[in-house]
Amino acid sequence: MSDVKDFLSKVPLFNNAPERALEIAAAAVQLRNMEASTVVFREGDRGEALYILAKGLIKLSKIDLEGHEKTLAILQAPEFFGEMALLSEQLRSATAVTLSETTVYVLFNDDFLRLLSQYPQISLNVTNTLARRLRGMDDEAQILSYKDAQGRVAYVLLRLYRNGLIAFVPDGRAMVRLTHQELASLAGTSRETVTRALKTLEAERVIQTKPKEILISDPEGLEEILHGIR
């Protein structure tokens, strides 16, 4: 119980929450382990719980009006997700899928709403998190609306790099483990367009591509390409 409480204290949902709130949450959550490519919930499902990511990566996506998948976010610990359907009593607005072996803590609807009503700090934390995500979506929408394919892909790779959604190879370079289709979903374009953009970036010597892997050789160079300096 104390280990769970210590972990929850690091989750944005419980930032500055009272000790008693952490104790209640630690007693209420249920631990679940999931394999890669597991669907946590689908767009249109009924919302019954909030999820707190303890290990692994989660992709949130939705289907646009043309039937294409658009990746909204890739989350890592200690983020939480799935709160929108609980707050609005609506169906799930996105699909959540694991990108790796993943561990989550599940906080069911009744316990979540009880914590919100009893502890104003948790309500404030939810509001702050939603505002932060909305600002990020606004910034992304502007960039993806005005940049060409090369700039879009550079932006996506930089976002993954800055958010720590990477691994490092022995020579110190950052490695992104995503397919071209997954990058296309993040960049809001087609897989073929992403493949061409990656070849251009590779010719600029800012990245190196491998099957299902992209090595970032020069983050500063990606930044220059994004802002049209290079």
Render pLDDT for 33-53 as a digit per residue (tens, 0 to 9).
Answer: 999 999 999 999 999 999 999
Same structural domain for residues 16 and 90? Answer: yes
| Whether residue 128 is found in the same domain as residue 165 | no
pLDDT by residue (tens digit) across 89-123? 889 999 999 988 999 999 999 999 999 999 999 99
Query: What pLDDT, on the 0 to 100 scale, is given for residue 229?
Result: 65
| pTM attached to this predicted model | 0.81
pLDDT for position 168: 86
Q: Which alpha helices (DSSP H) does the chain contain, by range?
A: 2-8, 19-28, 83-88, 109-118, 120-146, 149-162, 180-187, 191-203, 219-226
Question: Within this chain, do residues 127 and 13 fall inside the same structural domain, yes or no?
Answer: yes
Question: For residue 217, how far is the Cα from the chain centroid?
Answer: 23
* Residue-range definition of the domain harbouring residue 80: 2-143
Q: Are 126 and 116 in contact (CB under 8 A)?
A: yes
Specify whether 113 is located in the same domain as 159: no
Rounded Cα gap, residues 229 and 222, in angstroms: 10
Same domain, 102 and 192: no
C-alpha triplet 131, 159, 147: angle, nearest 5°: 95
**131-170 pLDDT tens trace:** 988 887 777 777 767 678 888 899 889 988 888 888 888 8
Q: Are residues 85 and 103 in the same domain?
A: yes
Residue pLDDT, tens place only, 164-223 = 888 888 888 899 888 888 888 888 888 999 999 999 999 999 999 988 889 999 999 998
Do 138 and 152 belong to one domain? Answer: no
Are 120 and 159 within one domain? no
Give the domain CATH number at 207: 1.10.10.10
Last residue of a domain, one of 115, 143, 171: 143
- Count of structural domains, the chain: 2
How open is the CA angle 176-81-65, to the nearest 5 degrees? Answer: 80
